Amino acid sequence: MNNRVHQGHLARKRFGQNFLNDRFVIDSIVSAINPQKGQAIVEIGPGLAALTEPVGERLTSSPLSSWTATWPPA
């Protein structure tokens, strides 16, 4: 299997893309972030949501989207 392919997506090396898929590394990053309820966290370029989902489990999330171009209520 091509190691540049993850969940059907091809990493484009010219853009420096990599897909985080090592559970130990993901858990280590989430532990280092130590997200708390009420804390504001902005994730830029979430990719395939390797960090989005485990961090989101600890927070109340309000996703922003360029499709809606609106801010969620505070």
Per residue in 33-65, pLDDT tens?
A: 998 887 888 877 777 788 888 888 887 656 655
Residue 72 belongs to some domain of the structure: no
Residue 73 belongs to some domain of the structure: no
Calculate mean pLDDT across residues 11-36: 84
What domain count does the chain have?
A: 1
Residue 42 belongs to some domain of the structure: yes
Compute the distance between CA of residue 13 and CA of residue 62 in angstroms, rounded to an integer. Answer: 31
**Per the annotation, does 16 bind a ligand?**
no
Per the DSSP assignment, residues forming a β-bridge with 71 are none
What residues make up the domain containing 13?
Answer: 5-56
Residue 10 belongs to some domain of the structure: yes
**Per the annotation, does 18 bind a ligand?**
yes
**Per the annotation, does 48 bind a ligand?**
no
The secondary structure of residue 68, as a DSSP letter, is: T
Its pTM stands at 0.59
